[in-house]
Structure 1
Amino acid sequence: MKRVAISHSGGKDSMLALHYMLKRDDVIVDRLMTTVDENDHRASVHETDEALLDLQAEALGLPLQKIYLPTSPSNEEYHARMREGLTQAEQDGITHIVFGDINLSDVRTFRENQLEGLTLEAIFPLWQQSTAHLIDDFLTLGYDTWITTIDPNRVPKPFLGRSLNRQTLQALPDTVDPCGENGEFHTFVVSGPLLKRALPVQLSDFMSEGPFYHYRDVYIKD
């Protein structure tokens, strides 16, 4: 029996990977695992607030192991923190780490290299599947996810904050992968069949601009 941790961003791909793993009879999903900036308490790249990750994990009924990273860590700092977190998972009895990557070979190689020297193995349940098929399955299953991050050079600003439904997919530029697999956008899942309830969240009215992405905050309703 495989005892797995899901590398989890709070977005659609990691949620779909979790969904697929829970359907397998040779797997026990032990926990979610994510990286968080120790200074601003946001998830790496997606910029999702740590409190939202906690809220989502609670709704999923799974513990969340956080690996805290410094802002803009050096390669040495990054690998040291990651190795510490992965070693802890290994010591806790985790045998596999599940990643939601689809078709970027360099990213897959990077993930696998992170596990060198450990007994942990990588699983990629979405690997090389059609992104059109994956997003169709995700929506058919009943998930709702919001576009919270865009590359403004590839995705027009009005899409920031929209629900990634079939109407939105149809309206996206033809050059945009339907899963945003090339970094065009990132999402945060707010409801779906694995969650005990829809998350009590709403979108901020404000957009922030980073060096590569534009962000729209999701926050917990009072």
Structure 2
Amino acid sequence: MAQKPKTYFNWSSGKDSALALYHLLQQNDLEIDCLLTTVNSHYNRVSMHGLRKEVLEAQAAEIGIPLDILEVPENPSMEEYNGLMGDKIKQLKAVGYTQTVFGDIFLEDLKQYREQMLAKYDIKAIFPLWKRDTKDLIHEFLELGFKAVIVCINSSKLDTSFLGKELSLELINQLPEDVDPCGEHGEFHTFCFDGPIFTNPIAFEVGEKVYKTYDDPSDKTKNIKFGFCDITLK
């Protein structure tokens, strides 16, 4: 029997990662034995999603796949980030990984960036959800029994009432017309706490809401305000 390609999975802690991982585990033709997540070492939270490290670790424990964390500083430059990620990829390559998986859906520039970086290390990138209709994806996610809550919003796209809300068809139908059903343009991010890839659901509580302002990478004269809700383990 041919050996399955050794593959690590880029785990964001949200719904798209969960659905992509589900599909690959169902196919059972890859050896996925590592979840790689980027964590901001200053805040001890998942980059972008703002999820506490201990909640991330609880997810990995219930999924049953070892977690590998890439720590980055509070505000890394693109050069710093690329250097740290490059070092991590080299480490993974050295222990036999030849493939990696992302939950991206249709951001072409991001896909090209990932593929170009990985090509330097002869790592193949896999995108199980690529070009899928996001309405179909969110329906499939819910129909499979996955559960997630919104933990981060772009305040220019969504108001604070969405923070901490559990995803449902009703909630998706309440999204403004210019917001993608999967938040694929960064309108919102989620924390997945239950579903067919978990042995048990994550027991958690929704805490306080906080706001942070970041420079807009597309226009240095502007900034973007994000809202986060804190998730703690019960």
Specify the TM-score bucket, using the shorter chain as the normaliser: over 0.9
Residue 78 of structure 1 aligns with an amino acid whose one-letter code is: Y
Work out whether 1:123 is the aligned partner of 2:136: no
**How many positions carry a matched residue from both structures?**
220
The structure-2 alpha-carbon separation of the partners of 1:190 and 1:25, relative to structure 1 and needing over 3 Å to count, comes to closer
1:209 counterpart (198, 211, 219): 211
Alpha-carbon separation, structure 2, partners of 1:80 and 1:197: 36
Contact 1:148 / 1:217 at 8 angstroms: preserved in 2? yes
Residue 163 of structure 1 aligns with an amino acid whose one-letter code is: E
Alpha-carbon separation, structure 1, partners of 2:137 and 2:105: 9
Alpha-carbon separation, structure 2, partners of 1:76 and 1:190: 33
Quote how far apart the aligned CAs of 1:47 are: 1.1
List, as ranges, runs of 4+ consecutive aligned residues in structure 1 with deviation greater than 4 Å.
none
Q: Which string of whole-angstrom CA distances, capped at 9 and with x for unpartnered residues, describes residues 66-106 of structure 1?
A: 11111111233211110111111112211111000000101
Quote how far apart the aligned CAs of 1:220 are: 0.8
Alpha-carbon separation, structure 1, partners of 2:116 and 2:94: 19
1:48 counterpart (27, 48, 51): 51
Matches within 5 A, 1:53-64: 53-64=56-67
Work out whether 1:73 is the aligned partner of 2:76: yes
Instruction: Identify the residue that residue 147 of structure 1 maps to in structure 2.
Output: 150
Paired residue secondary structure (1:9): coil
Instruction: Identify the residue that residue 39 of structure 1 maps to in structure 2.
Output: 42
Quote how far apart the aligned CAs of 1:25 are: 3.3
Paired residue secondary structure (1:181): coil
Instruction: Identify the residue that residue 13 of structure 1 maps to in structure 2.
Output: 16
Quote how far apart the aligned CAs of 1:26 are: 2.0
Instruction: Identify the residue that residue 181 of structure 1 maps to in structure 2.
Output: 184
Alpha-carbon separation, structure 2, partners of 1:70 and 1:115: 22
Residue 209 of structure 2 aligns with an amino acid whose one-letter code is: M
Contact 1:208 / 1:216 at 8 angstroms: preserved in 2? yes
Quote how far apart the aligned CAs of 1:116 are: 2.9
Quote how far apart the aligned CAs of 1:217 are: 0.7
Paired residue secondary structure (1:150): strand
Quote how far apart the aligned CAs of 1:118 are: 0.5
Matches within 5 A, 1:155-174: 155-174=158-177
Instruction: Identify the residue that residue 27 of structure 1 maps to in structure 2.
Output: 30
Alpha-carbon separation, structure 1, partners of 2:149 and 2:133: 21
Quote how far apart the aligned CAs of 1:112 are: 1.1
Alpha-carbon separation, structure 1, partners of 2:101 and 2:165: 28
Name the TM-score, length of structure 1 as normaliser. Answer: 0.96
Residue 2 of structure 1 aligns with an amino acid whose one-letter code is: P
Alpha-carbon separation, structure 2, partners of 1:42 and 1:197: 22
Work out whether 1:111 is the aligned partner of 2:114: yes
How large is the RMSD of aligned CA atoms in angstroms?
1.0
Instruction: Identify the residue that residue 136 of structure 1 maps to in structure 2.
Output: 139
Q: Which runs of 5+ in 1 are unaligned?
A: none
Work out whether 1:198 is the aligned partner of 2:211: no
Name the TM-score, length of structure 2 as normaliser. Answer: 0.91
Contact 1:30 / 1:94 at 8 angstroms: preserved in 2? no
Alpha-carbon separation, structure 2, partners of 1:73 and 1:153: 24
Paired residue secondary structure (1:71): coil
